[in-house]
Amino acid sequence: MDAKTPQTGPLEGLGWSPEREAAFATLRADGSIPGRVVSHGRGQLRAETAVEPVLVIVQRGFRRAASGPEDHPAVGDWLALEPLGGGSAALREVLPRSSAFIRHDAAENGGAQVVATNVDTVLLVSALTRDLNLRRLERYLALAWSSGAEPIVVLNKADLCDDVPARVAEVAAVVGDARILVLSARTGIGLDRLQPELAAGRTLALLGSSGVGKSTITNALLGAERQLVREVREDDQRGRHTTSARELFRLPGGALLIDTPGMRSIGLWEAGEGLETAFGDVEALAASCRFSDCRHEVEPGCAVRAAVASGELGEDRLESRRKLMREMASVERRNSVAQARAENRRFGRMIRDACRTQARLRGRPEGE
């Protein structure tokens, strides 16, 4: 690969823009080339550049400088890469993100997991079957609104639902301003409703639990069986993981689609503003409470509790908001402690490196 020659044509199909190219000028002058992460799984990170696909090598220096898992590259990220030859490149920098869907992941020692980045539209997929979970959908919406991307709720498997209007009404009561699309990926009914979102160069991400039909939607939009599909369990209508890696696909019309493995848990991560948007109905009622710091529990003049008493607002929705607010506060406390510890470790490494440098200099013979 010739790092000195700007070759941006093929990258335009991945969403590279003149604005990104202008911002990349200094990095390109230093020998870096841009690439977009197109797959992440089994410990490997792959990106497409203007010349060829490459295996991305994340070196120790980058890992040490990162403040946390949220700084590490994820599918959808644009990277500054140093070509190494042989189909590989070293990661030099993760370029600024326009959006990032990040969840709290207990498997990451309580840290963050970046699911997808630089996404224009997040398709939150649920199935219109017994496994439809409104509380889980509220979690997805809180993270989606905080990601910077537009969420759309996709209700799949309409062909397996006996009363679609009733189920849609339940969902509409908790999704606020998010749009709802009803379809059946298996039969193809309603897939045309996604077409306005599939403009060339736009990036969409499919998110949802196992068994809701994300892989079937991906295959339908690709027009080919690229993703493995498994049947859900008969006893609880839940599926097994079929997608094992996060992957970015180019759709026939030029749009880009990120498919992700089903998530068993969807913990909040820095979703304060997203939480407010996801519960916009409660926030609107709270504006009429007598006290600005009303917790909507036993305070007099609480407009939210009055709405619950009158049936305007469901008790379960208010309790869901309380639970997520407590969870968010807990995450913020842990983040503060973790950030302080990380800063202490970085400061300690800086002092140790400086001491080693001074020791080497003192050990040099005179005249050097």
Tens of pLDDT, residues 237-296: 454 545 567 899 999 999 999 998 866 656 666 666 788 888 999 999 999 999 999 989
Chain-centre distance for alpha carbon 189: 27
Residues 112 and 219 in one domain: yes
What domain range is 158 assigned to?
100-259
Domain termination residue (choose one: 60, 94, 128):
94
Q: Which of 240, 19, 277 is nearest to 148 (CA)?
A: 277
Q: How far apart are CA 144 and CA 131, in angstroms?
A: 21
Report whether pLDDT(208) > 50: yes
- Over the stretch 288-323, which tens digit does the pLDDT of each residue have? 999 999 989 889 999 999 999 999 999 999 999 988
Residue 223 lies in a domain: yes
Residues 171 and 245 in one domain: yes
Total-model pTM: 0.79
Residues 161 and 194 in one domain: yes
Q: Return the higher-pLDDT residue of 9 and 59.
A: 59
C-beta separation of 148 from 205 below 8 A? no
**What pLDDT is recorded for position 41?**
82
Residues 349 and 204 in one domain: no
Residues 251 and 111 in one domain: yes
Residues 255 and 289 in one domain: no
Residues 125 and 178 in one domain: yes
Residues 126 and 53 in one domain: no
> CATH number of the domain that 359 lies in?
1.10.40.50
Residues 86 and 180 in one domain: no
Residues 358 and 228 in one domain: no
Extract the runs of DSSP E, i.e. beta strands, from the chain: 33-41, 44-49, 53-57, 78-85, 88-94, 100-105, 111-117, 121-127, 150-156, 179-182, 203-207, 246-250, 256-259
Residues 106 and 180 in one domain: yes
Task: Give the number of residues written for the chain.
Answer: 368
